[in-house]
Amino acid sequence: MLSVAYSAEAKHLNAARLAPQPERLEELFCAVPRESFEAGEGVFWEGDQADHVFKVSEGVLRVFKIIADGRRVITGFLYAGDLVGLSLKDRYLYSAEAVTPVRLRRLARKPFAEALEKWPDLRPQFFARVCDEMATAQDQMVLLSRKSAEERVATFLMLLARRLHGCHPIGRRIHLPMSRLDMADYLGLTIETVSRTITKLVARGVISPEGRHDFAICKPGKLLALCGDGDSYEDTIDREPKMRQAIWPH
Amino acid sequence: MLSVAYSAEAKHLNAARLAPQPERLEELFCAVPRESFEAGEGVFWEGDQADHVFKVSEGVLRVFKIIADGRRVITGFLYAGDLVGLSLKDRYLYSAEAVTPVRLRRLARKPFAEALEKWPDLRPQFFARVCDEMATAQDQMVLLSRKSAEERVATFLMLLARRLHGCHPIGRRIHLPMSRLDMADYLGLTIETVSRTITKLVARGVISPEGRHDFAICKPGKLLALCGDGDSYEDTIDREPKMRQAIWPH
DNA sequence: AGTCTCTGTTACACACCGTCACACGATTTA
DNA sequence: TAAATCGTGTGACGGTGTGTAACAGAGACT
């Protein structure tokens, strides 16, 4: 199963460990075939032996934990380009399911780890990924700990807007591929509260619906203000596209 | 400033980069003198140039973020042995202050990073640290997202009990060095709710106060049940002391 | 001792959000 | 076509936790 579907990356025909030095972490995944998952299908489960690292190439994934009474907490949504399973425990810390139809590439830990050992240039990139994940987790803690329902929803919309901003430099449109329940479990709210809050934002003209899962941002400034991030040093202007190169290890 | 105050570690008299290969990550910090901070004093601030990595050797630190209206979110408490500032951004993601009088060792990023490059055996340990931090953050998200006030406080008490458990294998006593406000900002509650909830736990005989900042756990089983972690695969029995060695990179 | 300050506790009214219930539209099934 | 199912929106209602208090205790200081 060493054949590669994606011909543009055909220069890496061999298994990752035999390939020439990759410049980018993502290239490690080019050597393995893509797998497909239907919407709702599980990729791995919390507590499973954590044998693989994944790279999403299409679609959206949700990662979540379940606690007593079946309460679910979605700790993140993962989009194309994101890596999953980097947390270096022997077992997965969370479960992962496809929100939309998903295509991803799976790499066993061993070759992944060996690649990191072998090519030091990859390590800063890897650190940067883990670091971003940590930063995101911290922001989420802030959201869950101290933000109101409205601030949570606004923050979520801004998050998605920024994410799409990467693809569509213009365009104030957001697409919400996940259900209201997913949003609720991500934001620490209920579906009803999410629904009502969105309705309220629409009523105020901050956003405007274009179907159930698409919205236009009519007042970006207002939406940003509603996030409640009136925060220390973070500037209001869009930061430059995320540096994927870690600052250190030098 | 190469002299070392702590004579028991005098074998590492030189700067970390010149020292013999350390077996443990912590040893990197032996070469630098300890600094002292009074209770309430700041160590570094969110947004500061992240030039240093710290190891707490005595006392307790709180790390936190501030958002609009001065709302504060404490993302963690750090005890002796914990490392701070590992997140690999160019700027600190959070601020750090001393809860109690604190002594810590500070290492510039450069020698720290160089040590990681030079001695591959240290990398798994470093990964393990970051990974633990990630796992803790996830648990905290669960707590903040879906747990009731009582479950939050119970979880917090169990956390501290387990932490002290490392030092005192027996003894069902917990010491809360931080104020109720700190607890509240960590648990996403208000001081009043924290206070009320503790009172309730005392009234039910689950814990019993021994001064404002010390409690005895009278019914450990009950307290554990109140945590709401009735969770999938996590066993009820105490896990073996945390592995500090990462499973991989092998 | 007496006073001041700081932290923690308790009380009560209120707000936000969760719970429960049902309606609506879209899609699937009989 | 009718019925069922699912995701979603909206309303009424109530509970958990909040906010504003006042109060109690423990130290620190004169």
Quote the pLDDT of residue B171.
55
Residue B241, both tokens: 């002391």
Q: Are residues A100 and A115 in the same domain?
A: yes
Q: Are residues A115 and A12 in the same domain?
A: yes
Taking the C-alpha atoms of residue B228 and residue A72, their distance in angstroms, rounded to an integer, is 12
Instruction: For residue A250, give how far its alpha carbon lies from the nearest alpha carbon of chain B (Å).
Output: 7
Quote the pLDDT of residue B167.
53
When comparing pLDDT for B169 and A224, which is higher?
A224
Average confidence (pLDDT) over A145-174: 84
The CATH number linked to B213 is 1.10.10.10
A199 Cβ nearer than 7 Å to chain D strand: yes
Residues B203-250 have pLDDT tens digits of 999 999 999 999 999 999 999 999 998 754 343 333 333 333 333 333
Of the residues A88, A103, A119, the one at which a domain ends: A119
Asked if A128 and A246 count as a contact pair (C-beta separation under 8 A), the reply is: yes
Which residues are CB-neighbours of A100 under 8 A, at least 6 positions away? A39, A59, A60, A177
Domain-located, residue A1: no
Quote the pLDDT of residue B16.
46
Q: Are residues A14 and A72 in the same domain?
A: yes
Quote the pLDDT of residue B30.
87
Average confidence (pLDDT) over B1-18: 41
Radius of gyration of chain B (CA): 19
Quote the pLDDT of residue B189.
98
Owning domain of residue A82: 7-119
For the cut 50, the answer to whether the pLDDT of residue A162 exceeds it is yes
In 3-state terms, what secondary structure has residue B110? Answer: helix
Q: Are residues A137 and A247 in the same domain?
A: yes
Average confidence (pLDDT) over A202-218: 95
Q: Are residues A129 and A112 in the same domain?
A: no
Of the residues A119, A145, A162, the one at which a domain ends: A119
Domain-located, residue A49: yes
Task: Kindly indicate the confidence band of residue B21, based on its pLDDT and cuts at 50, 70 and 90.
Answer: confident
Average confidence (pLDDT) over A92-109: 96
Which residues are CB-neighbours of B199 under 8 A, at least 6 positions away? none
Number of domains present in the structure of chain B: 2
Quote the pLDDT of residue A34.
94
Taking the C-alpha atoms of residue A122 and residue A245, their distance in angstroms, rounded to an integer, is 9
Which of A116, A87, A88 minimizes the C-alpha distance to A28? Answer: A116
Q: Which of B65, B110, B230 sits opposite A142 (nearest CB)?
A: B65
* Amino acid occupying residue A123: R
Q: Are residues A106 and A177 in the same domain?
A: no
A-B Cβ pairs (cutoff 8 Å, strict): 152
Q: Which of B110, B137, B233 sits opposite A250 (nearest CB)?
A: B110
Q: Which stretches of A33-172 are DSSP H helices?
A: 109-118, 122-146, 149-167
Domain-located, residue B201: yes
Q: Are residues A105 and A40 in the same domain?
A: yes
Residues A20-39 have pLDDT tens digits of 677 888 899 988 999 999 99
The CATH number linked to B12 is 2.60.120.10
Quote the pLDDT of residue A3.
40
Task: Give chain B's end-to-end CA distance (angstroms, integer).
Answer: 37
Residues B50-71 have pLDDT tens digits of 999 999 999 999 999 999 889 9
Instruction: For residue A116, give how far its alpha carbon lies from the nearest alpha carbon of chain B (Å).
Output: 8
Phi, psi angle pair for A182, to nearest 5°? -60, -45
Contact B233 A47 (CB under 8 A): yes
From residue B60, how far is each of B34, B178, B210 by CA, in Å? 15, 8, 20
Q: Are residues A57 and A72 in the same domain?
A: yes
Quote the pLDDT of residue A8.
37
Average confidence (pLDDT) over A156-175: 78
Q: Chain D positions under 7 Å from a protein CB?
A: 7-12, 16-21, 26-27
For the cut 50, the answer to whether the pLDDT of residue A250 exceeds it is no
Average confidence (pLDDT) over B12-19: 47
Residues B89-130 have pLDDT tens digits of 889 999 999 999 999 999 999 999 999 989 999 998 998 999
For the cut 70, the answer to whether the pLDDT of residue B192 exceeds it is yes
Quote the pLDDT of residue B8.
38
Contact A131 B89 (CB under 8 A): yes
B-facing residues of A in 6-45 (CB < 8 A) are none
Quote the pLDDT of residue A87.
80
Average confidence (pLDDT) over A108-121: 91
ipTM of the complex: 0.86
A248 shares contact with chain B (CB less than 8 Å) = yes
Q: Are residues A103 and A187 in the same domain?
A: no
Task: Kindly indicate the confidence band of residue A237, based on its pLDDT and cuts at 50, 70 and 90.
Answer: very low
A193, closest nucleotide (Cα–C1'):
C17
In 3-state terms, what secondary structure has residue A144? Answer: helix
Distance (Å) from CA B171 to C1' C5? 35
Which of A20, A21, A23, A18 minimizes the C-alpha distance to A2? Answer: A18
B-facing residues of A in 95-154 (CB < 8 A) are 109-110, 113-114, 116-117, 120, 127-128, 130-131, 133-135, 137-138, 140-142, 144-147
Domain-located, residue B222: yes
Torsion (CA) B105, B109, B113, B116 in degrees, nearest 10: 10
Percent of chain A clearing pLDDT 90 (strictly above)? 69
Task: Kindly indicate the confidence band of residue A84, based on its pLDDT and cuts at 50, 70 and 90.
Answer: very high
Average confidence (pLDDT) over A164-180: 76
Residues B142-160 have pLDDT tens digits of 999 999 999 999 999 999 9
Quote the pLDDT of residue B165.
58
